[in-house]
Amino acid sequence: MSLNATDQPSCAPRFWRDDSLPFIEARTIADGRKVCYTRHSHEHFSIGAITAGQSLYIHGSSTFQISAGTVVLMNPGDVHACNPIDDQPWSYHMLYIDTPWLTDLQHQLGFSTELDFRQFTTTHTRDPVLFGGLNELYEVLVDEQAEHLHKQSAVVSFFSEVQLRLNPATTVVREVNHKLERAAEYIREHCTEALKLEDICQAVQLSPSYLIRAFKQYYGMTPHAFLVNRRIQFARAQLRDGQLIADVALAAGFADQAHFQRTFKQHLAATPGQYRD
């Protein structure tokens, strides 16, 4: 179990992970004035609580001004960013949940086992029950004295509440474009390689012009941005395993460590070293 925050400035990110709960990761920022993200997405489900101040929340093509008491939600693949407003202080807690774990919970709550992850249509909410519940869960997770069963129970309880309050059975799921889904999967499978546009087009039988236009409309980012984002997700897994930063940069497909460092910080508002340690 780890919460890497000792003697760091308040603007530095603090990450919590526990080998006994491998499906969840937590992050907190006490002062977000220097924390800026580029537009990015995750393979996992993300949910966070703004605990003080206010910030700009980008979700897909929309931008919202949010403040303390707001809970934000990002489905796997949702393009998003959250950044300070005019150097105003703000703080937040974030939780990242492996999609298979949350999908299994959905099935336990009565959603068809034949369905994959049921996406949330809510981008953000000021539901006081969810806001309070997320903050309580964060405190339980980082409490070194809390028993494993307590933490497990708290996670299941909170995400069951999220599911039942925000994701009713009538949720409308985005229409699937199978060729674009295959293009995304191709990029995921080959993310550490020096991909060319024609490689992706040939794999999914789409023209370059259509792929570029439709992919950005569907995913909120270009195929190249999607590729870079996927490399960062690959790098996160390597860093969690304690791999050397230089080795991770090379394995993830970056030209050099400096490029990797810059890109990683743009996506996570933290350096690779801060994230790993």
The whole-angstrom separation of Cα 116 and Cα 218 is 19
Query: Per residue in 138-177, pLDDT tens?
Result: 999 999 888 888 888 889 889 988 988 997 654 444 555 8
- Report the amino acid identity of residue 99: T
13 and 135 fall within a common domain: yes
Question: For the chain, what percentages of helix, strand and coil (3-state, to nearest 5) are there?
Answer: 45, 20, 35
Domain residue limits at 190 = 178-276
38 and 110 fall within a common domain: yes
Cβ-in-10-Å burial (0-12, 13-18, 19+) of 50 comes to buried
CATH number of the domain residue 264 falls in: 1.10.10.60
191 and 159 fall within a common domain: no
112 and 59 fall within a common domain: yes
Q: Domains in the chain: how many in total?
A: 2
Residue 171 in domain:
no
Query: Per residue in 18-45, pLDDT tens?
Result: 998 999 999 998 887 877 778 888 899 9
Question: Can you give the pLDDT at residue 6?
Answer: 41
Q: What is the mean pLDDT of the chain?
A: 87
110 and 134 fall within a common domain: yes
CATH number of the domain residue 73 falls in: 2.60.120.10
Give the predicted TM-score (pTM) of the model.
Answer: 0.67
Question: Can you give the pLDDT at residue 173?
Answer: 47
Query: Per residue in 213-262, pLDDT tens?
Result: 788 888 888 888 898 899 999 999 999 888 999 999 999 999 889 989 99
142 and 46 fall within a common domain: yes
